[in-house]
Amino acid sequence: IKNIAVLTSGGDAPGMNACIRAVIRTGIYNGINMFGVLQGYQGLINNNINPMDARSVSNIIHLGGTVLKTARCLEFKTEEGMEIAFQNLKARDIDGLVVIGGDGTFTGAQRFGHKYGVRVMGVPGTIDNDLYGSDFTLGYDTAINTVIEAIDKIRDTADSHDRLFFIEVMGRDSGCIALRSSIASGAEAVLLPEKETSLDELISQLEAGASTKKSSSIVIVSEGHKQGGAYDIAKKVKERFNHYDTKVTILGHLQRGGSPSSFDRILGSRLGFAAVNELLKGNTMQMVGLRGNDIVTTDIEEALTKHSFKLESDLLEMTKVLSI
Binding to ligand F6P by residue 127, rule CB under 6 A?
yes
Question: Judging by DSSP bridges, how do beta strands 163-169 and 217-222 pair with one another?
Answer: parallel
Confirm whether 93 is a catalytic residue: no
User: Given phi > 0 = left and psi -120 to 50 = alpha, else beta, which region is 15?
Assistant: left
CB atoms within 10 A of CB 310: 20
Give me the catalytic one of 12, 95, 128, 130. 128
Question: Judging by DSSP bridges, how do beta strands 286-291 and 119-124 pair with one another?
Answer: parallel
Q: At what angle do helices 199-211 and 230-240 cross, to 10 degrees?
A: 60
Contacting ligand F6P within 82-101 (CB under 6 A): none
Binding letters toward ligand F6P, positions 193-232, x by CB under 6 A: ------------------------------x---------
Binding to ligand F6P by residue 181, rule CB under 6 A?
no
**Residue closer to ligand F6P (CB basis): 127 or 276:** 127
Binding letters toward ligand F6P, positions 136-175, x by CB under 6 A: ----------------------------------xxx---
Calpha distance 260→224 (Å, rounded): 24
Binding letters toward ligand F6P, positions 227-256, x by CB under 6 A: -----------------------------x
Of 34, 255, 296, nearest to 142 (Cα)? Answer: 255
Calpha distance 15→65 (Å, rounded): 8
Binding to ligand F6P by residue 102, rule CB under 6 A?
yes
Calpha distance 173→70 (Å, rounded): 21
**What's the length of the chain?**
324
253 marked as binding residue: yes
**Residue closer to ligand F6P (CB basis): 36 or 102:** 102
Least separation in angstroms between residue 11's CB and ligand F6P is: 4
| Binding region for ligand F6P (CB under 6 A) | 11, 102, 126-128, 170-172, 223, 256
